[in-house]
């Protein structure tokens, strides 16, 4: 995904993207932009915008059409960003990459394919198709002390010890997945969607954890993302700084359901155990990193990780503190692990800007569409 600039996000309207630079002047005669006729046309355009300016403080709730998994609504410039998640109760387990540590032909493929490996020396990420189901264990298969990894893998017919030599260099050889039961079917977040043994129901411990943790998650998502930026219609000609200035508030809800349609957005596996890490569709109640839910919400808006060792990063992001997609002082980067650095950046409001632009286009009815730009600006107090 291209990053236009760090704060200005062109609307999705393509019918009449404005050209306010008015074109170059006559070659060799005057500097670019000084063509009087073009300047006059530009002034006329600006006047037209001013005379036809209609503010849109109120816009109906709409599911995003420009990416991300959220609904947007405006009431008197109070912008509600709805993150309504449904969840099934389940657990975090794993896919493990064993490569040559197991003999060729060993069964139990996890049936995922994450594409080619990075070039040697490049930043590692989750890749390849050599993945098997895995789970944590405190003993070795057959009894005895735990093996170094504390993990078993599924070979297609039984659990086996992960070889002692296994190491997760770069943190890209163990991927968390959610597992859950739908009736008597044991499901996993893999391409074939199956887990090879019965999945236990939650007990009192997990129910109690949910009661205490979900309200904290909601609070963290909402406070981390709210009052960080306002959205301002760039082409608003009013001298009133509050005209066309929207105040986004994130509203997160979690609703239990009994099935997890893996293709359906806005649904997650809520894991009752503490996984070594979570993923965007499997959130661990036992994960005590405070900003995890706010980070995962960023994924729901469509933003990739901004640290190496996660999924692929967007190397085209090179501003606002990011270098080749990596930003250590960002909620989407390693910064998520500390309050001082779990920072939401202006670029993280891009998709909300796009959706707001699209909604204003609809309100305008396409008749006066002038490809407005919505930008993220410092919040009003
Ligand atoms: Zn305005
Ligand atoms: Zn992430």
Calculate how far, in angstroms, residue 77's C-alpha sits from the geometric centre of ligand 2. 31
pLDDT of residue 198: 96
Q: Which residue has the higher pLDDT, 49 or 88?
A: 88
What is the secondary structure of 143-194 as a DSSP string? SSSPPTT-EEEE-SSSEEEPPTT---GGG-SEEEEEEEEETTEEEESSSS-B
CA 92 to chain centre: 19
Main-chain phi, psi angles of 226, to 5 degrees? -105, 145
Q: Is the pLDDT of residue 13 over 60?
A: no
The domains of the chain are located at 95-178
Could you tell me which of 282, 245, 290, 232 has the C-alpha nearest to residue 260? 282
Angle at 126 between CA 120 and CA 132, to 5 degrees: 115
pLDDT of residue 35: 47
Calculate how far, in angstroms, residue 240's C-alpha sits from the geometric centre of ligand 1. 8
Q: Which ligand is nearest to the CA of 279?
A: 2
370 pLDDT band, cuts 50/70/90, is: very low
Collapsing DSSP to helix, strand or coil, 346 comes out as: helix
Q: Which ligand is nearest to the CA of 374?
A: 1
Calculate how far, in angstroms, residue 248's C-alpha sits from the geometric centre of ligand 1. 17
Q: Is the pLDDT of residue 222 over 60?
A: yes
Main-chain phi, psi angles of 48, to 5 degrees? -60, -45
Surface-to-core class of residue 80, CB atoms within 10 Å of its CB (0-12 exposed, 13-18 middle, 19+ buried): middle
User: What does the pLDDT look like over 70-102, one tens digit per residue?
Assistant: 999 999 999 999 999 999 999 999 999 999 999
pLDDT of residue 32: 31
| Spatial separation of the C-alpha atoms in residues 12 and 356, rounded to whole Å | 9
Q: Which residue has the higher pLDDT, 235 or 221?
A: 221
Highest mean pLDDT among 3-12, 123-132, 142-151, 344-353: 344-353
Q: Is the pLDDT of residue 104 over 70?
A: yes
| Three-state secondary structure string covering 350-381 | HHHHHHHHHHHHHHHCCCCCCCCEEEEECCCC
Collapsing DSSP to helix, strand or coil, 248 comes out as: strand
Q: Which ligand is nearest to the CA of 240?
A: 1
Calculate how far, in angstroms, residue 34's C-alpha sits from the geometric centre of ligand 1. 28
Q: Is the pLDDT of residue 334 over 70?
A: yes
Highest mean pLDDT among 3-12, 209-218, 282-291: 209-218
Could you tell me which of 65, 49, 109, 38 has the C-alpha nearest to residue 373? 49
Main-chain phi, psi angles of 339, to 5 degrees? -60, -40
Q: Which residue has the higher pLDDT, 308 or 10?
A: 308
Q: Which ligand is nearest to the CA of 49?
A: 1
Q: Is the pLDDT of residue 345 over 90?
A: yes
Please compute the mean of the pLDDT values over residues 284-299 and round it to a whole number: 91
Please compute the mean of the pLDDT values over residues 290-299 and round it to a whole number: 92
**CB distance 108 to 156 below 8 Å:** yes
Say which residues have a Cβ less than 8 Å from residue 44's Cβ, sequence separation at least 6. none
Calculate how far, in angstroms, residue 301's C-alpha sits from the geometric centre of ligand 1. 26
Which residues is 284 bridged to in the sheet? 271
Which residues lie at CB < 5 A from ion ligand 2? Answer: 305
pLDDT of residue 366: 61
Looking at residue 269, what DSSP letter applies?
A: E
pLDDT of residue 47: 45
pLDDT of residue 14: 29
Calculate how far, in angstroms, residue 70's C-alpha sits from the geometric centre of ligand 1. 25
| 348-366 CB burial, b ≥16 within 10 A, e <16 | bbbbbbbbbbbbbbeebee
Calculate how far, in angstroms, residue 57's C-alpha sits from the geometric centre of ligand 1. 9
pLDDT of residue 343: 94
Calculate how far, in angstroms, residue 354's C-alpha sits from the geometric centre of ligand 1. 17
249 pLDDT band, cuts 50/70/90, is: very high
Calculate how far, in angstroms, residue 178's C-alpha sits from the geometric centre of ligand 2. 15
Say which residues have a Cβ less than 8 Å from residue 361's Cβ, sequence separation at least 6. 11, 12, 13, 369
**CB distance 154 to 134 below 8 Å:** yes
Quote the tokens at residue 320. 């606002």
Calculate how far, in angstroms, residue 223's C-alpha sits from the geometric centre of ligand 1. 27
**CB distance 374 to 233 below 8 Å:** yes
Q: Which residue has the higher pLDDT, 134 or 141?
A: 134
Say which residues have a Cβ less than 8 Å from residue 4's Cβ, sequence separation at least 6. 10, 350
Please compute the mean of the pLDDT values over residues 322-345 and round it to a whole number: 93
Calculate how far, in angstroms, residue 40's C-alpha sits from the geometric centre of ligand 1. 23
Calculate how far, in angstroms, residue 304's C-alpha sits from the geometric centre of ligand 2. 7
pLDDT of residue 169: 82
Main-chain phi, psi angles of 121, to 5 degrees? 90, -15
Would the pTM count as exceeding 0.85? no
Q: Which residue has the higher pLDDT, 296 or 36?
A: 296
Calculate how far, in angstroms, residue 233's C-alpha sits from the geometric centre of ligand 1. 7
Please compute the mean of the pLDDT values over residues 180-186 and round it to a whole number: 93
Calculate how far, in angstroms, residue 278's C-alpha sits from the geometric centre of ligand 2. 8
319 pLDDT band, cuts 50/70/90, is: confident
pLDDT of residue 25: 23
Q: Is the pLDDT of residue 365 over 90?
A: no
Highest mean pLDDT among 21-30, 284-293, 369-378: 284-293
Neighbours of 367 (CB within 10 A): 7
Q: Which ligand is nearest to the CA of 236?
A: 1
Which residues lie at CB < 5 A from ion ligand 1? Answer: 55, 236, 238, 243-244
Kindly compute the dihedral angle of the four CA atoms of residues 90, 91, 97, 98, in this order, to the nearest 10 degrees.
-120
Q: Is the pLDDT of residue 331 over 90?
A: yes
């Amino acid at each position: 995904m291209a990053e236009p600039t760090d704060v200005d996000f062109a609307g999705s309207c393509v019918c009449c993207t404005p050209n306010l630079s008015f074109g170059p002047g006559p070659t060799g005669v005057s500097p670019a932009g000084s063509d009087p006729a073009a300047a006059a046309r530009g002034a006329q355009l600006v006047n037209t915008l001013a005379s036809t300016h209609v503010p849109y403080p109120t816009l109906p709730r709409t599911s995003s059409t420009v990416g991300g998994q959220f609904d947007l609504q405006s009431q008197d410039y109070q912008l509600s960003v709805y993150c309504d998640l449904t969840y099934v109760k389940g657990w975090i387990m794993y896919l493990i990459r064993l490569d040559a540590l197991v003999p060729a032909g060993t069964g139990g493929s996890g049936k995922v394919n994450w594409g080619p490996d990075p070039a040697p020396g490049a930043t590692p990420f989750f890749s390849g198709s050599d993945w098997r189901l895995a789970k944590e264990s405190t003993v070795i298969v057959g009894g005895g002390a735990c093996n170094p990894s504390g993990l078993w893998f599924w070979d297609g017919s039984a659990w086996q010890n992960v070889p002692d030599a296994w190491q997760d260099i770069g943190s890209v050889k163990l991927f968390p997945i959610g597992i859950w039961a739908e009736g008597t079917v044991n499901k996993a977040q893999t391409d074939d969607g199956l887990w090879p043994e019965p999945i236990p129901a939650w007990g009192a411990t997990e129910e109690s954890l949910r009661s205490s943790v979900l309200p904290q998650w909601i609070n963290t998502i909402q406070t981390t993302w709210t009052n960080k930026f306002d959205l301002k219609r760039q082409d608003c000609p009013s001298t009133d700084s509050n005209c066309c200035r929207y105040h986004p508030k994130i509203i997160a809800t979690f609703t239990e359901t009994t099935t997890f349609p893996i293709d359906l957005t806005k649904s997650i596996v809520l894991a009752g155990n503490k996984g070594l890490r979570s993923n965007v569709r499997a959130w661990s109640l036992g994960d005590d990193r405070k900003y995890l839910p706010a980070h995962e919400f960023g994924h729901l808006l469509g933003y990739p990780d901004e640290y190496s060792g996660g999924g692929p990063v967007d190397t085209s992001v090179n501003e606002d503190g990011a270098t080749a997609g990596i930003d250590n002082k960002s909620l989407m980067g390693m910064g998520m692990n500390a309050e001082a650095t779990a920072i939401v950046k202006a670029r993280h409001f891009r998709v909300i800007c796009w959706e707001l632009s699209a909604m204003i286009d609809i309100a305008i009815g396409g008749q006066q569409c002038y490809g407005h730009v919505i930008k993220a600006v410092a919040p009003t107090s």
